[in-house]
Amino acid sequence: MIILTVVVTAVYTAALIPFKGFVLVPGFTEIRIANAFPVVFSLMFGPAAAWGSAFGNLLGDVFGGTLTRGSFFGFAGNFFFGFVGYKLWGNLGRLSSDREPDMRSGDQVVEFVVVALVASAGTAAIIAWGLEVLGLFPFSVLGTIIGVNNFLPTAVLGPLLLRVLYPRVKQDGLLYPDLMRAKDLPSVNHSRQSTAGVTIAVVSIAWAVLGIAVSVGIQGIPLGASPGEVMPPSPVETRIQLVVGSVAVVLLLVASAFSGERLSQLYRQEPPASGPSDEFGP
């Protein structure tokens, strides 16, 4: 798992740096095709993807010349980006395909897109909230940019990457359930897993939406405004975001602490029985 963390870090860093010149917010974010990787890696490598995405983003800031005090929240946000996938898969009620993510069916793609939306919204909320608390940008400015910038590459490229990579990684025995000891995988009943998963999803999306609503409705920031068009938020206005974000962080931490992960169980499930005609098949 440590080796996989290093590999994810290296891949994510290497994919981030070439696009540092395609700036969206100077010194803070740019076009990031590499955002397709964290959720994909999460569904294959579990915790290694969370730590690898966090350190990969940090090294991308270091070597790309965008290291600032806001990079702390970038670290936390990208940890969440690589964390939420393996925690949510199979725990989204009727939106779950109840199968491992090899992307062989439409319901798996739908579940992946939902997971990508939650991961993108939560990551955007964490980073946008942090930079508003630091007095750098209103929530809505970075929240919308980062959310879209995360979601589109993930939703478009993620299913294709999993369709190609997942069977090969599984065949090589490199999925995280193969590498972690059984006692290190949380043993949680499915009902609690689902409750925690839905809570993480609802809080992540609600935080992003509410944070943008506060910026637009209370702070008077036009929706879609660019960083150069707005002034940093005042301390009084920032207190509202601070309270909303603090509540959301606590809820996410509690839900994560009480969640399990169903992906390892789905991975070990026997495939459904085939018809009698397969008995003499290849």
- Binned average pLDDT, 10 residues per bin, the chain of 282 residues: 95 81 53 86 95 93 81 94 93 89 93 96 94 85 88 94 94 90 75 89 95 86 67 72 93 89 72 42 40
- Angle between helix 106-133 and 71-88 (nearest 10): 160
Which pLDDT value is given to residue 93? Answer: 86
Is the CB of residue 57 less than 8 Å from the CB of residue 75?
Answer: yes
Distances (CA, A) of 7 to 33, 41, 71, 102, 187: 18, 10, 21, 21, 27
Which pLDDT value is given to residue 216? Answer: 85
Which pLDDT value is given to residue 24? Answer: 57
Instruction: Fill in the amino acid letter for 187.
Output: S
Q: What is the pTM of this model?
A: 0.86
Which pLDDT value is given to residue 259? Answer: 84
Which pLDDT value is given to residue 273? Answer: 41
User: Which residues, in sequence order, are bridge partners of residue 29?
Assistant: 25
CB burial string 120-154: b at 16+ within 10 A, e below: bbbbbbbbbbbbbbeebbbbbbbbbbbbebbbbbb
Rg (CA), the chain: 19
Which pLDDT value is given to residue 18? Answer: 75
